[in-house]
Structure 1
Amino acid sequence: MTEVLLGSILSALATGLGAIPILFLKGSITHRWRDILLAFTAGIMMTAAMRGLIPEALQAGGIFEVIAGLFLGVLILTMLEKTIPHIDLEHSRVGIQFDEKALLIIAAITLHNIPEGLSVGVSYASEAQETGNLIAFAIGLQNAPEGFLVALFLINQNIGRLKAFIIATLTGAIEIVASLLGYYLTSFIEVLVPYGLSFAAGAMLFIIYKELIPESHGDGNERIATYSFIVGIAFMFILLETF
């Protein structure tokens, strides 16, 4: 219990950690750098899903459970996307322009953090403790640039830097609740473990391919974003082999 609580808190607070530079940043950030960050985090999440969640799900269950969980994760994310208003950022090569409905976008970002929290909790419920640490670490790495981009968005909406930092940090807090929920469900009903791990992998893969990669390819930065995606994968593999 202590492990999952600590892991979920650290991965969630990484959102605030990533937002810290916004307190000192002068000016804005170009779409080129934003796309590089998005693609890099996509690579990190891809490695976590393929190297951690799916192999562990196969070991805990079988191919049927893995396929069922993957499709369930995609289905739930699809339903969430249709239910939660999703407003894309306007693409511009010079800077980042955002829709005026700031509250709606922040609510959408917060709710989209739920599957990430579930991923952490379910991973800690598996027999291999290192899987939980791996996913918590991967989600934390993914949350850092996300927190930076959310805070940057808020500043572009004429919100003060300190307030933007606090709000960006709070958007990741829901992951703690989701993580504990995922942990308790799969801990008390062991048969759910392979389904839960595969569900988390499916949700992460959906986010990668539906959100992160298209967003990183929307402004003519496809090549550099692709390089960044591969670097993210390599970076995660290096960390896995090192630690």
Structure 2
Amino acid sequence: MTEVLYGTILSAMSTGLGALIILFIGQSMTHKWRDILLAFTAGIMMAASTMSLIPEALNAGGFLPLVVGIFLGVLTLTLLEKNIPHIDIAHNKKGIEFDEKAMLIVAAITLHNIPEGLSVGVSYASENGGDTGNLIAFAIGLQNAPEGFLVALFLVNQKISRLKAFIVATLTGTIEIFTGLLGFYLTSYVASLVPYGLSFAAGAMLFIIYKELIPESHGDGHERTSTYSFIIGLLFMILLIDLF
């Protein structure tokens, strides 16, 4: 229990760690470096989902639960995309006032963090809970850090104070603590849910990689650099899986 609590808190608070950068830099960051960060994160998450979550799900329940869980993860993210306002933060160049519309955007980002928290929680409930959970928490944490920075940068560009932008961006990640604990308890007490939970996490992560991270890292003419960064991230996570 202590381990899953620490893991969910650390992965969620990585959003705040990324947002912390906004207190020390200017209001801009080159698209090239944003794309490199996003692509590196995509590589990390790809290795985590295909080499950790999916094999664990297969071992726990076989192919059918894997298919069902992956499609449930993809469906959940699809419904969120269709029904909750979303903005391409990394490539947004025009400002809007921090009114109800901006609050909607912050709320949307918060809700998009729900499947990520579930991914961490169910990973700790697997047979190799500690190792798998720590790896997925690390992968989600790495994804949350640039996201937190981009959210804070977006808010600063809307003339919000740096401190307030940092606080708001950090708060968007806290929902992952609660959803992570929820995922852990559900799959811990209903053992048959473990393969579905693991594959749900894999499906959600694959959706985020292909729908969000890869397109956003290829939006400003840095495709080759981003591709290299993706491969480095992939290999880095494979090394961690091999070591731990």
TM-score band (shorter)?
Answer: over 0.9
Distance change >3 Å, CA 171–CA 133, structure 1 → 2? same
Deviation at 1:99, TM superposition (A): 5.0
State the TM-score, normalizing by the size of structure 2.
0.93
TM alignment of 1:23-42, pairs within 5 A? 23-42=23-42
Tell whether the 8 Å contact from 1:90 to 1:98 is kept in structure 2 after alignment. no
What is the count of residue pairs matched by the alignment? 240
Tell whether the 8 Å contact from 2:11 to 2:140 is kept in structure 1 after alignment. yes
* SS, match of residue 172 in structure 1: helix
TM alignment of 1:19-98, pairs within 5 A? 19-89=19-89, 91=91, 96-98=93-95
Supply the AA of the counterpart residue of 1:63: F
Q: Is residue 2:171 matched to residue 1:160?
A: no
Deviations along 1:75-103, one digit per CA (max 9) or x if unpaired, are: 111111111112234847xxx44555321
Deviation at 1:167, TM superposition (A): 0.9
Q: What residue ranges of structure 1 are gaps of 5+ in the alignment?
A: none
Supply the RMSD in Å over aligned alpha carbons: 1.5
Q: What residue ranges of structure 2 are gaps of 5+ in the alignment?
A: none
Q: Is residue 2:119 matched to residue 1:113?
A: no
Supply the AA of the counterpart residue of 2:75: L
Residue of structure 1 in register with 2:149 after alignment: 148
Tell whether the 8 Å contact from 1:46 to 1:208 is kept in structure 2 after alignment. yes
Deviations along 1:94-140, one digit per CA (max 9) or x if unpaired, are: xx445553212211111110010000110011111211111111111
Deviations along 1:205-236, one digit per CA (max 9) or x if unpaired, are: 00110111111111212111111111111121
Deviation at 1:153, TM superposition (A): 0.9
State the TM-score, normalizing by the size of structure 1.
0.94
Tell whether the 8 Å contact from 1:89 to 1:99 is kept in structure 2 after alignment. no
* SS, match of residue 85 in structure 1: coil
Mapped partners of 1:111, 1:102: distance in 2? 14
Distance change >3 Å, CA 46–CA 159, structure 1 → 2? same
Deviation at 1:204, TM superposition (A): 0.5
